[in-house]
Amino acid sequence: MATINFGGVLENVVKRDEFPLGKAQEVLKNKTVAVIGYGVQGPGQALNLRDNGVNVIVGQRKGTGSWKKALADGWEEGKTLFEVEEACEKATVVMNLLSDAGQIQAWEGMKKHLTKGKTLYFSHGFGVTFHEKTGIVPPTDIDVVLVAPKGSGTSLRSLFLSGQGLNSSYAVFQDATGKAEERALALGIAIGSGYLFETTFQKEVYSDLTGERGVLMGAVAGIFEAQFNVLRQRGHSPSEAFNETVEEFTQSLMPLIAENGMDWMFANCSTTAQRGALDWKGKFRDATEPVLNELYDSVVSGKEAEILIEANSKADYREKLEEELSVMHNSELWQTGLEVRKLRPTK
């Protein structure tokens, strides 16, 4: 484990050369790892573990779309693919990768198979942190750990296949065996993490809910809509408004930021762009910081968890979600985007 200085703050980070795959395989060699849920995170983590030589089985409700996807990915019914409770019973490591709502619904059935000495793994701290609302309270004689990739399961898989890795946080909530941290790190390396940084279940869920509702999805989607609307209202064509709002950001500037940081991106843009961006940056920061503080307070209070649980418990949730996404899809902004993407040159 290395101690890295991040802007004057020392943090514990585990890199692949410090905890190599061979060590992870040794820690997990006598374990049966059950990936429960084959939706967002499940496929990427399960396939990476399998490719890294870990003994993996999948637990999923039979007959669902995710069950069919698991079959298509090569998991075999009765051999490596089972119903949720049967997989939990067979496993020594239970990776609970169901959705937050799914975890609540399946918990009582899973809990009875979490016997002494087993490891319960999450990729999100939601269920345990908000246990008063979810009812998820792990038995005291098992290890409870977390590895949270900082991206989608699709990205985890694609980066793994290209020989790269997605950064992940890790945490130990409960160490019943004295080996919880070692097991967490082994699982983190085996799923294909680029490096692992230490956190807690609570901090993971607070930062994750804030990030998703903020910069990662909610804020950027809202800002895209606002700027596109302003340009359209001021007489710019849909194509011009989309290119200046979304296309240049995603196709040109974000890769530069990802490569060397925001300051490097500024340095490699025109002087006109540099000066204007530096002058306006503070105004956007000052305007949005109160909103982000309001959001963080809503997360910590449990209000966001209540909204999520209530929404997901409704029978028509998926139907309503499709309606909301359809409005977004059919908006002028994203219909323009659909046409602009068709115009991108192919390799």
- Going along the chain from its start, the domains and CATH numbers come out as 2-199 (3.40.50.720), 211-342 (1.10.1040.10)
pLDDT at site 136 = 97
Is this model's pTM higher than 0.85 or not? yes
Known binder of ligand: residue 208?
yes
Report the SS3 class of residue 121.
Answer: strand
Question: Would you say 319 is a known binding-site residue?
Answer: no
Extract the residue ranges of the chain whose pLDDT is less than 50. Answer: none
pLDDT at 11 (0 to 100) = 84
| DSSP states of 176-235 | SSS-HHHHHHHHHHHTTEEEEEE--HHHHHHHHHHHHHTTTTHHHHHHHHHHHHHHHHTT
Q: Which residues are catalytic?
A: 124
What's residue 309's pLDDT?
Answer: 92
pLDDT (tens digit per residue) in 251-295: 999 999 998 999 999 998 899 999 999 999 999 999 999 999 999
Instruction: Please tell me whether 248 is known to bind a ligand.
Output: yes
Asked if 191 and 156 count as a contact pair (C-beta separation under 8 A), the reply is yes
Q: What is the pLDDT of residue 8?
A: 84
* pLDDT score recorded for residue 52: 97
Question: CB within 8 A of 198, min separation 6: which ones?
Answer: 11, 12, 13, 169, 170, 171
Tokens of 132: 């008063």
For residue 4, what pLDDT is reported? 82
